[in-house]
Structures are given as structure tokens and as C-alpha cells.
């Protein structure tokens, strides 16, 4: 049986990279005494997979991983046990049991939304929100995407599902996942370019709000929708 865990990563935990977060949860699961399943062999590892990696320095209240379990208690009990062993800044928000036949979180991630604010001393976010519509209403938004091996020019407009002024910041809903993974930093880089400003990565704080999958109707819904709460039988 598979469960899906939703957690928030905030505060100083933003300085912990993705691989270390994975190691962190493996140890936390053992401390909490959850009956997780292991691989076979001399160095057994827990059967857990994470949804969408979060960059260093980014905070989030909508992170997910899946775990294969041997047995379950209740959603509530497992949340409580995990939270009893969390470091400040990491909080388990919810746990559901995946319905039969559901794919892993990593496979179904379709989008994430973010709130972007300006870091203190790095300008005013209103410089951006005031001209947001002009930027977003362009027919094409061309950026240079740099990967380990090459640089590619691409139009990211189709992958920006929403871009609007939010409270003290910019709200954006972006395509996420293994196919068209658009990072909020890339959008801000394109925005700066549009405004003829230097892009400084450090100028913006990024906070992920939620990670989404598509339901049968093709609508974006929370990754929790793939499962149900469970209770002690």
C-alpha cells in the first residue's frame, strides 16, 4: 500500500538541498517508527519517491513524497508521529493513502504555483507588478534555458498558466514535471530581460504554494486528490 505525504519546508530549512531532504525524511521515518517497506539486498533502502525537487533557498508549503508501506495506522496518527520528530522548519501537513493504480507523485506532477517577493535591499516588487500585464500579454516570452550540456532558446509563454499581482508579490502558476519544467527563476529572468534590467538571482525570494496534478477532467488539483484519508481499522 502506498501513501502520499504533504509537507512544508520553511525557515532555515530552505538551505537544505533536495538530496539532503530525502536523507532527512528517511531518518525521520525511522525515528517515527513508521512501518515503511524496504528494498531487498545487503543495503536495503526505503521505498520512497519525491514529487518535484525544490531549489536551494526556496521555501514551500506544498511538498510531497510517496512511500510504500507494510502497514498503516491512521492519517492523523502518522502525521503526529512524524511531526514529533521534525526539526523546526519542517512540518508534515497531511497523509493520504493512494487509490489503487495511482501513479507516483513524480510521474503525475503537472504544475506548481509560487509567490515571488523582492529580497530586502534589492528593489521594489511594484516595479514588476505594475507592468506585469504588459509582460504577460506578449505573444511569445522568449528565454534562454541553460542546462548542463546546452543552451536553448525557448518560448515559455505556453507553460505559464497564470501570472498576476498577488499580495506584496507576483503570483505564478507554472508547468512542472519531467517534461516541461519551468522554474520561477526562469520567468523572472525573462521578466528582467523584458524590462532591460540586470537579472540577479538573489534579488527574489521564491515560495512554493502548492504542487498540482491533473484530474480526469484535465483540471489542476492538489496531489492529495489521488488518495484518501485513512483510519485505524
Count of beta carbons in the 10 Å neighbourhood of residue 130: 11
Q: How far is the CB of 50 from other proteins (least distance, A)?
A: 16
Q: How far is the CB of 222 from other proteins (least distance, A)?
A: 27
Q: What is the dihedral of CA 115, 119, 124, 129, to 10 degrees?
A: -10
Among 57, 68, 81, 154, binds other proteins (CB under 8 A): 57
Report the alpha-carbon distance of residue 155 to residue 209 in Å, rounded. Answer: 24
Q: How far is the CB of 170 from other proteins (least distance, A)?
A: 19
By the 8 A CB rule, do 172 and 190 touch? no
Please report whether residue 89 would count as binding other proteins according to CB under 8 A: yes
Region near other proteins per CB under 8 A, out of 82-90, 98-106, 187-195, 209-217: 82-90
Please report whether residue 38 would count as binding other proteins according to CB under 8 A: yes
Size of the site for other proteins (CB under 8 A): 32
Contacts of other proteins in 199-228 (CB under 8 A): 201-202
Please report whether residue 231 would count as binding other proteins according to CB under 8 A: no
Q: How far is the CB of 38 from other proteins (least distance, A)?
A: 5
DSSP calls for 70-110: S----HHHHHHHHHTTPPTTEEEEEEEEEPTTPPPHHHH--
Pick the closest to residue 159 from 138, 183, 137 (CA basis).
183
By the 8 A CB rule, do 60 and 207 touch? yes
The helix (run of H) or strand (run of E) holding residue 136 is helix 132-136
Please report whether residue 29 would count as binding other proteins according to CB under 8 A: yes
Binding residues for other proteins (CB under 8 A): 11-13, 15-17, 20, 23-24, 26-31, 33, 38, 41-46, 56-57, 85, 87-89, 119, 201-202
Amino acid at each position: 500500500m502506498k501513501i502520499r505525504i504533504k509537507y512544508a519546508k520553511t525557515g532555515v530549512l530552505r538551505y537544505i538541498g533536495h538530496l539532503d531532504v530525502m536523507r532527512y525524511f528517511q531518518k525521520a521515518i525511522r525515528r517515527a517508527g513508521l512501518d515503511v517497506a524496504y528494498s531487498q539486498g545487503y543495503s536495503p533502502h526505503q521505498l520512497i519517491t519525491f514529487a518535484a525537487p525544490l531549489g536551494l533557498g526556496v521555501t514551500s508549503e506544498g511538498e510531497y513524497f510517496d512511500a510504500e508501506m507494510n502497514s498503516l495506522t491512521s492519517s492523523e496518527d502518522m502525521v503526529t508521529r512524524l511531526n514529533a520528530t521534525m526539526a523546526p522548519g519542517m512540518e508534515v501537513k497531511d497523509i493520504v493513502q493512494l487509490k489503487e493504480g495511482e501513479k507516483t507523485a513524480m510521474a503525475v506532477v503537472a504544475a506548481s504555483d509560487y509567490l515571488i517577493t523582492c529580497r530586502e535591499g534589492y528593489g521594489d516588487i511594484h516595479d514588476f507588478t505594475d507592468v506585469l500585464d504588459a509582460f504577460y500579454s506578449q505573444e511569445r516570452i522568449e528565454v534562454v534555458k541553460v542546462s548542463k550540456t546546452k543552451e536553448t532558446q525557448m518560448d515559455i509563454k505556453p507553460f505559464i498558466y497564470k501570472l498576476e499581482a498577488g499580495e506584496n508579490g507576483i503570483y505564478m502558476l507554472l508547468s512542472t514535471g519531467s517534461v516541461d519544467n519551468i522554474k520561477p527563476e526562469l520567468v523572472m529572468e525573462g521578466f528582467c530581460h523584458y524590462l532591460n534590467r540586470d537579472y540577479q538571482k538573489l534579488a527574489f525570494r521564491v515560495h512554493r504554494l502548492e504542487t498540482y496534478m491533473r484530474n480526469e477532467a484535465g483540471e489542476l488539483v492538489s496531489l492529495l486528490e489521488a488518495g484518501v484519508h485513512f483510519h485505524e481499522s
